[in-house]
Structure 1
Amino acid sequence: MRHCRRLLAVVLLLFLASPSLAAGFDAIAALVDRGFRVGAEARLLDDGSVLGAIAPERQLSPASVSKSYLAAAALDCFGPQHRFTTRLLSEAAPDEEGVLTGDLILEGGGDPALTTEDLWRLVQRLHQAGVSEVRGRLLVSQWRYGPVECITTDRCETRERTTNAYSALLSSAGVNYGNWCVTVAPAERAGEPASVTGCDSQAAILAIDNRVVTRPDDSGTQLSAERVTRDGGDVMVLRGQISTNAHPRTLYRASSDPADQMALTLLAMLDQAGIAVSGGADTTQAEPPPTARVLAAVDGKPLQELLLRAMHYSNNYMADMLTLNLVETPRADLRLGGARLEAFVAGIPDHGPVTLLSGSGLTPENRTSARGANTLLESLYHRPSLFPSFVATLQSPDNGVMRFIRRGSETFQRHVMLKTGTLNQPVTVRAVSGYFRTASGRWGVFSVLVNGTGSTPYLSWPEVLDPLAQDLEEMIAQH
C-alpha cells in the first residue's frame, strides 16, 4: 500500500510538472498528446532566457534542418566568397592550326551549381586558347569524388530509374544538379506526336522515348516523365498529352551517372562550337597528370550564393555536394562528409550529441536536439564575419520562396527567419529552426523537431506551422 502511494505521488508530480515543460509551447504541446515525439526550445540570445521548452535535449531526426549544420560548416571551412573551379587541361598544347594532339581532360571541381551556361563559357575559353580540334579523347575526371556510393533508397533506385529530380547522384564532375532536362512542345496538328528536344544542345544528347500526343486547343496538358537505364544508357520516357495551344513544358529527371552526363553534354557542346573530338568521351577516377597544363577554367558562384539556393530550395544535391567538398582527401563519400560535419559540431561548446550522415538530411538516421540546433544558431550569431551570410540562407515566412510557410499573423510572418525539414519515410518528420526578433528588437532562437512513429497519422505542415506561429507570436509580443 505504501509502495502504491509513493508511485501515485510520483505520477502526480510528473503530471503537475508536464505543463511547465511545455511552457511557451502550449499549442505545439498538443502534438505530444497525439502521440508525436516532440523536442522544442525557444530562448533569447542576450541573456539566455528560455521562453519555452518541450524535451529540448531529446534526440530526433531534423530532416532538412540538417542543412543548417552544412551551411555553418561550409562557411566556417571555406568562407562566404569561396568559389569552386572547373578546369580543362591537357598534357599537349595546340599547334599553329589549333590541333590538340592528346586527351582533353575536364577536372571536376565539385561545383554544386555548375550548369551548361558555365560549360559554354569554358568551351569559349578553350577556343580563345587556340584549340579548334582535339585528336584524342575527352576525359571527365571525378578524382575528388564519384561515383559516390548511394546510402538512401531514392538515390540507389536512381541508378536504374527515377521519376524525380531530387534524388540526383553525386560526382565532383556533375553538371545541371545531376539532372537531364527536356522540353516538350505541341506539334502543329492534333494527333501528332509532341515535339521533344533536349534543353542543353541542338544535337540529341539523351535518348528520348516520346509517347506524348498533341491534342486540340484547350484539351489540357498532362505529362509524366521517367528516366530509365537501357543498354547502359539513359532514356527519358515521356507519356501524356499536350494541347496545340499550350506553352512548351520543361521536365527534369536525375541521371544515372552524373560524370557520364557531363561527358556527353560537354562533347555535344564542343561539337556545336566547331571543336571536333576524334576519340569520343569517357570518364575516369584518375587525377590529371601533374604535367597537364590548364587550357581553360571557369569559377563558380561564391559560396554564399550557393548556400542561398541550397537552403531556400532545400536542394539535396547541392547540400551533399558541399558536404563532400568538406573532405580533404580524394575519393570522398558521405560517411566521411558526415564525420567532417560532426567534427565541426564538436567544436561548438555545449552543443551536445549529434549524428549527421549527410548534409542534406535525406538520411533518416540524422539526429540532433532542439537545444543543439539552437546552440548552432547561437554560435553563428556570435560570428560577425559569417552571420550575415548564414542568416540570409533562412527564409522569412512573409516572402520566402516556399509558399507553404506563409502561415500565422503578420507578427510571425515578419519577425521570424527559418529553415524547415520534411521526411515522410520511414516516419513523418516536420522540423523548423531559426531566429526571431521580439517586439522590443531582441534576438532569439527557436527549434521544433516533430517525429512520428509507426502508429501516428500523417502530419501536414499547417498542423505544425499554425501552432508554432501561435506560440512564437506570444513570445515575440511579450518581450
Structure 2
Amino acid sequence: MTSRRTFLLSGLAAMAGSAALANAPTVSLRPVSRRNSIFAPGAEGLKALLAQADLPGEVVCAVADVNSGRLLESHGAGQALPPASVAKVITALYALETLGGSHRFETRILATGGVSNGVVLGDLILAGGGDPMLDTDDLAQLAAALKAAGVRSVRGDFLVWDAALPTIRTIDPGQPDHLGYSPAVSGIALNFNRVHFEWKRAASGGWATTMDARTEKHRPEVSMARMRIATRSTPVYTYAEQSGTDNWTVASKALGKGGSRWLPVRNPGAYAGDVFRTLAGAHGIQLGAARQIRTLPAAQLLAQHQSPPMAEMLKAMLKYSNNLMAEMIGMSATAARSGRPSSLKESATEMSHWATARYDMPGIRLVDHSGLGEESRMTPLGLLSALIAADRSGQLKPLLKPFDLRDAKGRPIKDHPIKVAAKTGTLNFVSGLGGFMTASDGTELAFAIFSADEATRASIPRAERERPRGAKGWNRRAKALQQQLIERWGAVYGS
C-alpha cells in the first residue's frame, strides 16, 4: 500500500485486532510418527483428530492436491456452513474477472452551468464512484485541486451523488448498532464509513467529546454525527437517525477517564459532504450544507481522485478482512456485469450464480460479499474447486496473506516446515479457513475448513453479539483444530 494510506490501514489492523487474538491457536502439533492415530493415513486418522477436538457444533473439511486436483481426504465436504470472511475469496475472484486487476474507482468534483471568473454558475457536485478507500486526505486533495483550478465561489447548491450503488444502512442488521465493522454502504464512502468518537475528562468534572473524520494529516469535526452522554450504566451506546443525522448516546458510567472509538456511519453521503464542505472552506470556498441527489446531471469535470488499482485493494481487503471494501467492490462488479443491483442480497446472489457457473461450486449461497451475514453458506468442496482453478490461472495466491502456524504460547513458528497462504473467517461460534499449503517436501495442497455451532450462535441476544459469553474460547479451539488439520495433512500427504 502507498505510504499516505498507512494511517487508515493501521486502523483496519486495529479493527481486526480482537479477531486476530481469537485466531491464535493454543496448541501446536509438530509432525510425529504416523503410528499416532491422528496422523494415520485415511479416514480413521481424520476421524480421530476430529473426535479429539471435541468442538461443539459441526466441522467440515477437505484437502486436495493442487497439481492433479485429486481430493485426498474430506469430512462432510458437501455440507454447507457459514463461511464468514472466507467468502471474501470469492468476492476477490469475482472482481478480478469482472473489473480487472488494474481497475480504479473515481471520485469527482463536477460543476453545472460552467465556471466564469472563478465562480461556479450552477451547482457543485461531489460524485462518488464506489471507491471504498477514499479518506479525508483524498477529499483534502480534491479541495486543494478545486482552488488550484481557480474556483472561488459557488452560485448554486452543493450536492452529493452517492447513487452509483444502492444505499444500505448496515451490512448486517443483526449486529449491534455501534459496531464499526457493519457500517452503511453506498456509492461513496469516507474513512471506511467510520466516524471517530473521542472523550476526555473536562476540568468541570464531566467529559469533553468530539466526533471527527480524522486521518494522520487532518482532523475535521463533523456535524452529521452527534454524541450525547447519558447518565446510565447500560446499554453503553444507543443510536437513532433524525433528519439525516446520526444521533448517538453513550453511558456515562462506561467512559472512565477517557478514550476513543470508531463508530459506524449510517449516512455516507451526508458524512462525505460534511467533511468536504469543511475542507473547501479552509481554502476560502464557502459551500452550503450538502444536499444529496439520486440522479447525476450533465456537468463539467473540475477535479478527480482515483483509487489504487483493484489488485492492490483486493490484497488489502483480504489482509485486513475489511467488510465495507468487500461489499462496495462486490456490488460494483455486479453493476458492471448486469446493472446496478437493488440490494446487497441481490448482488450476492448474482455473485453466487457466477461462482456456480465459473467454478462449479455446489452449495454456495451468499447473502453479501463480506461473509458477515450468518445466512451465507459454502461447502468445502465448492471452495476447493474455486481455489484450484484460481491457482492455475495465477490470480489468487499472490493476494492471500501468509498464515502463521503457532506454538503452544501462540507465537509464530518462523521455521515451521509447512507454509500456508489462506483467508480466515471469524464470527461468533463460526470459524473458517481456506487457502493453500506447501508441505515440507514441496507438495502443494488446497484446503477448506468450516466450523459452526449454529444453535449456540442463534441463542445470542442482539445486544450481546459484540462479546458473547463462550465465543472467544470456542473460536480459539476451532483455530487450534485448523492448525492440527494442516499439520496432519502436511505429515500424511507431504513427507
C-alpha displacement of 1:224: 5.9
- Kept in 2, the 8 Å contact 1:25–1:53? The answer is no
Match of 1:322, SS state, is helix
Aligned amino acid, residue 172 of structure 1: G
Match of 2:192, SS state, is helix
RMSD over aligned Cα, in angstroms? 3.2
- Kept in 2, the 8 Å contact 1:197–1:204? The answer is yes
Q: Label 1:182 to 1:145 Cα distance change in 2 as closer, same or farther (>3 A).
A: same
Aligned to 2:205: 191
Residue of 249, 254, 273 corresponding to 1:263: 273
Residue of 412, 421, 425 corresponding to 1:417: 421
- Kept in 1, the 8 Å contact 2:65–2:72? The answer is yes
Aligned to 1:345: 355
Q: TM-score, normalised by structure 2?
A: 0.78
State the Cα deviation string for residues 417-441 of structure 1 (Å, max 9, x = none).
22122223xxx32111111001111
Match of 2:49, SS state, is coil
Counting only pairs closer than 5 Å after superposition, residues 75-224 of structure 1 correspond to structure 2 as 75-96=96-117, 98-148=118-168, 152-154=172-174, 162-187=177-202, 189=203, 191-194=205-208, 196=210, 198-200=212-214, 201-206=219-224, 208-209=226-227, 211=229
Q: Label 1:394 to 1:470 Cα distance change in 2 as closer, same or farther (>3 A).
A: same
State the Cα deviation string for residues 140-163 of structure 1 (Å, max 9, x = none).
1122123237573246x7xxxx22
Aligned amino acid, residue 307 of structure 2: G
Instruction: State how far apart, in whole Å, the 2-side matches of 1:210 and 1:332 are.
Output: 34
C-alpha displacement of 1:115: 0.9
Aligned to 1:27: 49
Deviates more, 1:230-239 or 1:172-181: 230-239
Residue of 22, 25, 45 corresponding to 2:66: 45
Instruction: State how far apart, in whole Å, the 2-side matches of 1:143 and 1:405 are.
Output: 49
Aligned to 1:235: 247
Aligned length: 428
Aligned to 1:13: none
Aligned to 2:478: 464
Q: Considering only CA atoms, is the larger Rg found in Structure 1 or Structure 2? A: 1
Match of 1:42, SS state, is strand
Match of 2:393, SS state, is coil
Confirm or deny that 1:281 pairs with 2:282. no
Aligned amino acid, residue 127 of structure 1: K
Instruction: State how far apart, in whole Å, the 2-side matches of 1:300 and 1:404 are.
Output: 41
Counting only pairs closer than 5 Å after superposition, residues 444-459 of structure 1 correspond to structure 2 as 444-454=445-455
- Kept in 2, the 8 Å contact 1:407–1:465? The answer is no
C-alpha displacement of 1:302: 1.7
Aligned amino acid, residue 491 of structure 2: A
Aligned amino acid, residue 166 of structure 2: G
Deviates more, 1:20-29 or 1:363-372: 20-29
Confirm or deny that 1:324 pairs with 2:331. yes
**Percentage identity across aligned positions?**
24
Q: Label 1:49 to 1:346 Cα distance change in 2 as closer, same or farther (>3 A).
A: closer
C-alpha displacement of 1:83: 1.1
- Kept in 2, the 8 Å contact 1:143–1:330? The answer is no
Instruction: State how far apart, in whole Å, the 2-side matches of 1:25 and 1:85 are.
Output: 52
Aligned amino acid, residue 293 of structure 2: T
Confirm or deny that 1:376 pairs with 2:386. yes
Aligned amino acid, residue 145 of structure 2: R
- Kept in 1, the 8 Å contact 2:200–2:207? The answer is no
Instruction: State how far apart, in whole Å, the 1-side matches of 2:194 and 2:456 are.
Output: 36
C-alpha displacement of 1:474: 3.0
C-alpha displacement of 1:461: 2.3
Unaligned residue ranges in structure 2 (runs of 5+): 1-40, 458-469
Match of 1:359, SS state, is coil
Aligned amino acid, residue 436 of structure 2: Y
Runs of 4+ in 1 over 6 A off after TM superposition: none
Unaligned residue ranges in structure 1 (runs of 5+): 1-18, 214-222
C-alpha displacement of 1:129: 1.5
Aligned amino acid, residue 384 of structure 2: N
- Kept in 2, the 8 Å contact 1:167–1:316? The answer is yes
Instruction: State how far apart, in whole Å, the 1-side matches of 2:408 and 2:348 are.
Output: 29
Aligned amino acid, residue 450 of structure 1: S
State the Cα deviation string for residues 56-96 of structure 1 (Å, max 9, x = none).
11122112111111011111222222211101112222222
Aligned to 2:320: 313
Instruction: State how far apart, in whole Å, the 2-side matches of 1:140 and 1:59 are.
Output: 42
Aligned amino acid, residue 302 of structure 2: L
Aligned amino acid, residue 429 of structure 1: V
Q: Label 1:349 to 1:226 Cα distance change in 2 as closer, same or farther (>3 A).
A: closer
Instruction: State how far apart, in whole Å, the 1-side matches of 2:417 and 2:151 are.
Output: 55
Deviates more, 1:447-456 or 1:249-258: 447-456
Residue of 355, 367, 372 corresponding to 1:357: 367
Confirm or deny that 1:475 pairs with 2:489. yes
Match of 1:289, SS state, is coil
C-alpha displacement of 1:26: 3.7
Instruction: State how far apart, in whole Å, the 1-side matches of 2:409 and 2:388 are.
Output: 23
Q: Label 1:284 to 1:206 Cα distance change in 2 as closer, same or farther (>3 A).
A: closer
Confirm or deny that 1:394 pairs with 2:380. no
Match of 2:50, SS state, is coil
- Kept in 1, the 8 Å contact 2:171–2:183? The answer is no
State the Cα deviation string for residues 113-159 of structure 1 (Å, max 9, x = none).
1111111111111112211111211111122123237573246x7xx
Q: Label 1:370 to 1:29 Cα distance change in 2 as closer, same or farther (>3 A).
A: farther
